């Protein structure tokens, strides 16, 4: 596998490096964020984008930039299989829906993610530090199987997705992935989600094997995630990746 580094630019102080990973069955296109204080072996967060965007879709730049500048983290985002610099046809959701119907799409995207994570970790200035994951909607469609398959991931923020029945080849895949995820998880749900209903989403939350899983449910449609969820996600990811998240304390029952 070979990383080809392309354009490098500075965004609000963070270094943003575009790359293409060659040597696999297909090129993998992505971007790596880092801050001026980044040190090899620092935590890295993988970001999966939604079906309507690419590796730079909001809120990825905001989250990756904050983690890089304030916490010294690396951020890694890849284009989806028909998105960004790998765009097929119109790209976005119009290209994604038929791609999702194709058997093998999940396995291929998980392979892309694992190869890219390994290749970046082998770069001397990045190293193999703790790894987290953030991805909503399509970022969970592909991200949950990736989190389930990648032992280096120790915390994840997922959501805007559920245990769907279609596509038929995908239904058992997402169920098995949820049941295999044992790391701490924050799961974000929009209660009026027009793409994935609340019953599907709650079923996925129930299926997670993690003993520490948080359900954040908000009123609104699929894309109406409150900004405060981004702030919580940063604290959730950094708390676990830094190793200083407080043990879960349960309030004792109040006496009557």
Domains of the chain with CATH codes:
2-241 (3.40.50.1820)
Check whether 161 has a pLDDT greater than 90. Answer: yes
The pLDDT score that the predictor gives to residue 250 is 63
Mean pLDDT, residues 111-132: 97
Mean pLDDT of the chain: 95
Check whether 249 has a pLDDT greater than 90. Answer: no
The pLDDT score that the predictor gives to residue 253 is 64
Check whether 233 has a pLDDT greater than 60. Answer: yes
Mean pLDDT, residues 32-50: 97
Instruction: Give 109's Cβ-side CA count (13 Å radius).
Output: 28
Check whether 123 has a pLDDT greater than 90. Answer: yes
End-to-end CA distance of the chain: 64
**What residues have CB less than 8 Å from 19, skipping those under 6 apart?**
3, 4, 5, 6, 29, 30, 31, 32
Check whether 1 has a pLDDT greater than 80. Answer: no
Mean pLDDT, residues 15-26: 96
What would the pLDDT profile of 175-199 be if each residue is shown by its tens digit?
999 999 999 999 999 999 999 999 9
The pLDDT score that the predictor gives to residue 245 is 75
DSSP codes joined into one string, the chain: -EEEEEEEEEETTEEEEEEEEESSSS-EEEEEEE-TT--TT--EEEEE--TT--TT-TTHHHHHHHHHHHH--EEEEE--TTSGGG--TT-HHHHHHHHHHSTTHHHHHHHHHHHHHHHHHTSTTT-S--EEEEE-THHHHTHHHHHHH-TTEEEEEEES------STTTHHHHHHHHHH--S-EEEEEETT-SSS-HHHHHHHHHH---SSEEEEEESS-TT---HHHHHHHHHHHHHHHTT-PPPP--PPPPP-
Mean pLDDT, residues 36-52: 96
Largest separation between any pair of C-alpha atoms in the chain: 66
Share of the chain above pLDDT 90, in %: 93
pTM of the model: 0.95
Count of Cβ atoms closer than 10 Å to residue 92 Cβ:
17
The pLDDT score that the predictor gives to residue 240 is 96
Instruction: Report the alpha-carbon distance of residue 82 to residue 147 in Å, rounded.
Output: 21
């Amino acid at each position: 596998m070979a990383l080809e580094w392309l354009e490098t630019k500075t965004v609000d102080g963070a270094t943003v490096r575009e790359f293409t990973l060659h040597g696999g069955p297909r090129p993998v296109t992505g971007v790596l964020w880092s801050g001026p204080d980044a040190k090899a072996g620092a935590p890295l967060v993988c970001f999966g984008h939604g079906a309507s965007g690419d590796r730079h879709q909001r809120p990825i730049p905001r989250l990756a930039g904050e983690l890089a500048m304030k916490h010294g983290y690396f951020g890694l985002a890849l284009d989806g299989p028909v998105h960004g610099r790998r765009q097929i046809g119109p790209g976005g959701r119009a290209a994604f829906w038929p791609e999702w119907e194709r058997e093998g799409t999940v396995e291929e995207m998980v392979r892309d993610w694992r190869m890219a994570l390994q290749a970046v970790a082998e770069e001397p200035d990045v190293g193999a530090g703790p790894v987290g994951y953030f991805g909503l909607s399509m970022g969970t469609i592909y991200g949950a199987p990736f989190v389930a398959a990648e032992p280096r991931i120790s915390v994840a923020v997922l959501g805007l997705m559920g245990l769907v029945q279609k596509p038929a080849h995908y239904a058992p895949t997402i169920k098995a992935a949820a049941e295999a995820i044992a790391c701490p998880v924050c799961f974000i749900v929009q209660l009026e989600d027009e793409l994935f209903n609340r019953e599907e989403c709650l079923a996925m939350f129930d299926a997670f094997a993690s003993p520490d899983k948080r359900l954040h449910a908000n009123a609104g449609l699929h894309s109406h995630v409150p900004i405060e969820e981004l702030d919580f996600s940063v604290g959730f990811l950094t708390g676990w990746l830094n190793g200083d998240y407080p043990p879960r304390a349960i309030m004792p029952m109040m006496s009557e």
